[in-house]
Structure 1
């Protein structure tokens, strides 16, 4: 996570089962589980940007039958959140304390089978969302799943985000209904992976979110 927001306090909302964040987390975990279920045989590389405590992936890995196949890299700027994730992470999950917006953080782990962009699109500008989506073919192998989140408040960018993914070689797998109170999207990459451009900054967090 980034920006001047108190992300440690923000994450405490996950402990309230009635909060929108807690409900969203359960939806994301369902989609993570489904993505791992349909992953091809062999190693399953996973990257998670702005990983926070890594709950959406780490919770699923506790009992998923493909657990041993998953090799993941979680990147989180907040050292306390990163340390929490690191304490829970199994041996094959690497947690890096660093700026998740920089493409070199994923060198050696991409193209990945699962890319998690959760908790990002509601905190960056539309231009940076577009830039991140445009760079996603550098992060994904053919057939990879991208799971992303965005609030449904005005301006509701979820339909636009879906169009941007489709323009860059992704097909929609599933998107939550607006009535859910939050947005979770799942897209599958049908194109050809692009070489990783190291040193590229994908986004910058906006203080207070958008």
Structure 2
């Protein structure tokens, strides 16, 4: 898969990726609005070109409060994200070229106030999706938000994903309409974060 070319559909007005991006960005903005005054930490797993975060943070009133780490394995996409962050003057955004499945990537940032797992769940086995939801209880701070995406083609896993988040102490804040052609969810963490142990693998990316 050429993941840089895959991102081209974001620039096509009306494409499902463009519409999904708008939905995710709206949730990112709402999550930042809801954060308490003071420093805010955000992390993005398999961040791609960083559009989910950078497209909001550049113009958000809380931009100076937010320290973010975007983790992306593809060097080309990571480079695009770095250039976009620099162009927007977002010096507090760190783009790391690494395997986002490794817990080591989030040392010093977890638990975070905002966790993004967008473009991820559709590329994992059901078992790994559930496992990653469990790790979100380690990545996310109490009161923080996890935003995630998943396609809704049969078999539709979205209802189960919502159940799995509920089992780990998350409350559903928002879910896209089933007819939207994609799934976007936002869950608020009401539990206490578990320790994030370095050296663990959360998932294996791929069909």
Query: What CA deviation, in whole Å up to 9, does each residue of 1:24-54 have, x standing for no partner?
Result: 0000000000000000111000000000000
C-alpha distance in structure 1 between counterparts of 2:70 and 2:13, whole Å = 24
Are residues 1:68 and 2:64 paired?
yes
For structure 2, which runs of at least 5 residues remain unmatched after alignment? none
Are residues 1:92 and 2:92 paired?
yes
- Number of equivalences: 203
- Write the mapping of 1:29-178 to structure 2, written as runs, cut at 5 A: 29-89=25-85, 90-178=90-178
C-alpha distance in structure 2 between counterparts of 1:205 and 1:13, whole Å = 21
C-alpha distance in structure 2 between counterparts of 1:91 and 1:15, whole Å = 25
Equivalent of 2:7, from 8, 11, 29?
A: 11
Deviation beyond 2 Å, 4+ runs, structure 1? none
TM-score, normalised by the number of residues in structure 2: 0.97
For structure 1, which runs of at least 5 residues remain unmatched after alignment? none
SS in 1 for 2:123: coil
C-alpha distance in structure 1 between counterparts of 2:17 and 2:166, whole Å = 26
Instruction: Name the residue aligned to 2:204.
Output: 204
Q: Which has the higher helix share?
A: 2
The structural deviation recorded for 1:83 is 0.3
SS in 1 for 2:147: strand
Are residues 1:21 and 2:21 paired?
no
C-alpha distance in structure 2 between counterparts of 1:199 and 1:81, whole Å = 24
TM-score, normalised by the number of residues in structure 1: 0.95
The structural deviation recorded for 1:122 is 0.4
